Structure 1
């Protein structure tokens, strides 16, 4: 009988130990859970503080950018006032405007005009140097059968790789013709490089115009169309542009005027 009692006591003691350990494990689990909730709360709070700080910093950067922009515009205006007007055409260093006729080749005409104008300015030519946009029409896309739309940059790339002939060697016909071999008529010049200017960089555009005319593209919008003669009072630009054009007509900018 005593042996049975001893065994029962041992079993009870073991059970108590198991239950005690289970209680400890539950307590530890609760502590871990509480610590996790506290850590999550702190993480959420830290993330909110970070987001608030970033929002404040972004606002500060925006204010600084706006201030810099205003100051930059003011600097540009001051530069304009120092030299409020330049017109390379009036200085006799830009060739006459060409009529592209029914050939969509304004890109070729403008590309040549920009290069030849720089040449005329650099060497102060008494007799204006003139390149052949007809060669670009003929050779930029040899496989083309008719006039085609392209870009000023494509013309510049061709001039950099192959060079361009003079107008006398390849007269303008306003239609696609066969591309002649360079062995027959060697190019008059080859450009080394060209650079694109950010359309938003007004100061940069003006700085380049102080040195030479530039080629540009006009985005034809309804708003621009509605300006009509109020925007181009005596220039003839309004009549010259084909407002039906869905692409970006090229133009040759040969100066600027600051009016206020």
Structure 2
């Protein structure tokens, strides 16, 4: 008796499987007539069915609450008044369908690149169209047009050809490169300055005050080396300014990229820490740009970091007794807007980090502040050099700004510089500002004032 019931149970289970398998094929069936002949029923009525492929399909409302496969193929149109989506079909023999982009036809399966996204020509139902990736692009035409059309953001945008076709993720990975300092570094107390804020002018520009000493704009290329370029540039500027022109030098950012490996990335073109860069200059020093020129990739260290200029085959500056590499005193942190202004006016440009929003890559002029036109969660930190400040009346009213040197080449921004809102910590640019004095200048030129600075970055 038990064997007979077991046999019956297995038979019913197989029957259910076959029926279910058949039901899954309904999408391949012609649309009726099933419910059109049988009629539609309210609620759940198991007898409200029509024969199909040796089983039943349903025309009651309950079938719409369970599985689509249980409904008759014409249930949607006859009972709900909803036309089903067209079933993809293959073009008839001899008919060749194409996708069109910028006046050119592409066959099925062919691809084209639209900005930073790859699009493939695919058939959707009875039509063909491009199906594209959905990456955030570094250059976004909607964002650029909105900034320029509404003209109430305080700045203007443009489409940079060198950024076109790159994703935002690629831009962050290759054009920024400053790693967030560890918590103990961020918690270091800023240096306290003693001065009269009334002496600070409304406008100041290091490039005008010391035109022969300020480093030129550099292009880091696709190496995430803003941390190295801004560090070397600030140190270079201060050698010229604080030595009163006796030590005009352009220091090697490539040496930091290639040789500063203690606590840094394995590949320094993927980013670096500012505090460790300044510690390297303090303990090892840098050679000049001519001795180890910038190439923008992780090339092998070609410098003896313990040797002097002669040991490294570097040029000895004219009318100078220097043989050692260029070393700075410990770096120190600055705490607020007026302290930063006073420091620049007295000692030269300072280094800052800023949190870069996707719209910043399109900046071409004006006083920048981030927008919310297209929000992206992908952001990163960029190291820059604050060289001055100013203020002006705009269509947004009276605005104060910093003048800042970037490292994306002179074809970006305002001849390589940008202006950004001052006094509001816009894009966190006032959160972590640091500077250092050239150690050799203090020793060789004893008449220079000696700053009282803590050893922040050891």
Is 1:193 aligned to 2:330, yes or no?
yes
Greater radius of gyration (CA): 1
Q: Please say if residues 163 and 188 of structure 1, whose CA atoms lie closer than 8 Å, have aligned partners that are also in contact.
A: yes
* Cα gap change, 1:225 to 1:96, in 2 (>3 Å): closer
Tell me what 2:224 maps to. 104
Query: Equivalent residue of 1:134, what SS?
Result: helix
Is 1:140 aligned to 2:275, yes or no?
no
Q: Quote how far apart the aligned CAs of 1:152 are.
A: 2.5
Is 1:162 aligned to 2:297, yes or no?
no
Query: Equivalent residue of 2:334, what SS?
Result: coil
CA distance in 2, matches of 1:108, 1:146: 9
In the alignment, structure 2 segments of 5+ residues that lack a partner are 1-195, 313-322, 370-375, 393-397, 399-458
Greater than 6 Å deviation, 4+ residue runs: 222-228
Tell me what 2:298 maps to. 176
Q: Please say if residues 166 and 187 of structure 1, whose CA atoms lie closer than 8 Å, have aligned partners that are also in contact.
A: no
Higher strand share: 2
Q: Quote how far apart the aligned CAs of 1:255 are.
A: 1.1
CA distance in 1, matches of 2:286, 2:344: 23
CA distance in 2, matches of 1:140, 1:99: 20
Tell me what 2:352 maps to. 216
- Aligned residue runs from structure 1 range 29-108, under 5 A: 76=197, 78-80=198-200, 83-90=201-208, 91-92=210-211, 93-108=213-228
Q: Quote how far apart the aligned CAs of 1:228 are.
A: 7.1
CA distance in 2, matches of 1:244, 1:228: 23
CA distance in 2, matches of 1:160, 1:85: 32
* Cα gap change, 1:224 to 1:137, in 2 (>3 Å): closer
CA-to-aligned-CA distance 1:19-50 (integer Å, 9 cap, x gap): xxxxxxxxxxxxxxxxxxxxxxxxxxxxxxxx
CA-to-aligned-CA distance 1:231-259 (integer Å, 9 cap, x gap): 259xxxxxxxxx99732101111111144
CA distance in 1, matches of 2:257, 2:378: 19
Deviates more, 1:147-156 or 1:121-130: 121-130
Q: Please say if residues 222 and 296 of structure 2, whose CA atoms lie closer than 8 Å, have aligned partners that are also in contact.
A: yes
CA distance in 2, matches of 1:174, 1:150: 14
* Cα gap change, 1:173 to 1:244, in 2 (>3 Å): farther
Query: Equivalent residue of 1:167, what SS?
Result: coil
Query: Equivalent residue of 2:381, what SS?
Result: coil
Q: Please say if residues 286 and 326 of structure 2, whose CA atoms lie closer than 8 Å, have aligned partners that are also in contact.
A: yes
Higher helix share: 1
Q: Quote how far apart the aligned CAs of 1:87 are.
A: 1.1
How many residues get paired? 172
Normalised TM-score (structure 2): 0.34
CA-to-aligned-CA distance 1:200-219 (integer Å, 9 cap, x gap): x1111111111210010011
CA-to-aligned-CA distance 1:120-164 (integer Å, 9 cap, x gap): 112232884110000000011277246121132221111011111
Normalised TM-score (structure 1): 0.57
Q: Quote how far apart the aligned CAs of 1:105 are.
A: 0.5
Is 1:252 aligned to 2:398, yes or no?
no
Is 1:119 aligned to 2:242, yes or no?
no
CA distance in 2, matches of 1:227, 1:172: 25
Structure possessing the higher relative contact order (Cα contacts under 8 Å, 6 or more residues apart): 1
Query: Equivalent residue of 1:252, what SS?
Result: strand
* Cα gap change, 1:215 to 1:166, in 2 (>3 Å): same
CA distance in 2, matches of 1:125, 1:171: 22
